Structure 1
Amino acid sequence: MPSPTVVPYANFKASEDGDALRAAMKGFGTDEQSIIDILTARSNAQRQEIAKYFLAEYGRDLIEDLKSELGGIFEDVIIALMYPPVNYLCKEIHKAMSGVGTNESALVEILCTKTNEEIKQIVKTYEDLYDRPLAEHMCSETSGHFRRLLTLIVTGVRDESGTIDPAMAKEQAAKLYAAGESKLGTDEEVFNRIMAHGSFEQLRLVFEEYKQLSGQSIEQAIKHEMSGELAEAMQAIVECVQSPADFFATCLYRAMKGMGTDDSTLIRIIVSRSEIDLNDIKREFERQYDRTLLSAVKSETSGDYKRALCALIGGA
């Protein structure tokens, strides 16, 4: 079972938290530590209750009040915590496609790691928020086989009937081999179709069969056969089929590697996985990189921003 770092607060009272947040933001100065202590230790559903109370009791929008009191990337973390999870991911998808250029890595990280049910919620919420179908917006911002793969994913074609077909897995592995390693050039359509349609359980079997057949892993084949964002998307699907925690640990490591920090990715993964499997991601991070996620984040961040992220990550 996935292991979260943020769970519902046992002695939760929306009125107490709402009053405490109001006090933290009233008058001169802001008590940032109180805001961190409350919001990082409540589940998202509880934060929504606090926001409802805040509106009913004070006639004020809690998100707007927080925005006016906080600033910079610390504000980004706190506001990310306040949106319902699916709304937050839709905002991140929209941001990835807004302005000049497209952040393909963010699209891959959000869309290629989701089940059909999660994709359905994202597609519906995106259209509600932006009055534009996600598939249509994505088609105008991406191209080629990468666009085709993402389109297949957001149209929800992944089979989640729960049935696993070993004979079909053998057949699909042979098709992947024929579309890549065994010929000159690559038939990306075959890869797209199989990667977007198969359930994660079925794909796990396909990848095992592929290794039996070709003598090398599907990751190695993708590296040889593809490049750019399509290769990145394929690798993301493969890693999430095998271990989502492994995939997200790698994303976090990359976000902190080298000069500068990719704060958007850091915030998005820590916030969006905190109620799902952040404990598993922490374990995987330490196993792969021989240091705790907490120590890595501490060395890359500072101030209230650091305190908020560390509170969500929890003890080493």
Structure 2
Amino acid sequence: MTWNGFRGAAVRLEDIDLPRLGHGIGVGEDEIHALLDVEAAGVGFDRTGRPKMLFEPHVFHRNLFSAARETAVAQGLAYPKWKPGAYPADSYPRLAQALEIDETAALKAASWGLGQILGENHAAAGFASPQAMVRAFMDDEDAHLESMVRFLVTNGLDDDLREHRWEGLARGYNGPGYATHGYHTRLAAAYAKWSHIPDTPFIPPAGEGSIVIPRTRIGRGSRGSLVVIWQEILLAAGLSFDGGADGVFGGATETATKSWQRAHGLVADGVVGPKTWGAAG
């Protein structure tokens, strides 16, 4: 198969893609941003337009057998255990050598794109083969993000992301050595950063059905796409407040929320949790 230097259309994400795909698993833009920042510094393509990629010789080793494995070991492309500090600045020359030995095993042994999805995990990311996944990643960062969301759901990690259980998320996404690299603390720090940055307003398309009930609670001080969704619900119920659906959960939104909760027989605490979301759905 010809790979054209792993250069495709290289279309970047649009701002709306993060809240749109996050909505499908009940999270806001901030959670998605945090994971992207930690995995690939928020960018899915390198300076030459190739998907960001890290070749893992220990993964190549476990996907090879007999003579092919011996050849890869002899060329320094495969070894049985992960080694720290063994990564060159550009992994593509290694990948090119590995492709000559076994294309499928080579693509499986690399982590790709915004979410750094290991080619070995192509099925969990929604693709029939690593080749299909890499082709999609060459063309559009939207495919990177969609695959990351599928991977989270397939592996039951979407709960951890919704609940901000950073250790559980890091363990499932990055493996048992997550703490060595501080993935959990980096995720928490990235989320804290993005939680103070205004999000892209997003309302689910008409006819999509009831909202996805998030497990993330929102209340005074919250910001983002989930706040916009909640404010739209309040406005549709005839509860007006200063600022409208601006994505900022301030005092006026809190007061309107308490009125809405009282009208629906709920505890009027001004906090939108599962019971309040459920009554709205």
TM range (shorter): under 0.3
Greater relative contact order (Cα < 8 A, sep 6+): 1
Question: Which of the pair is proportionally richer in helix?
Answer: 1
Using structure 1 for the length normalisation, give the TM-score.
Answer: 0.25
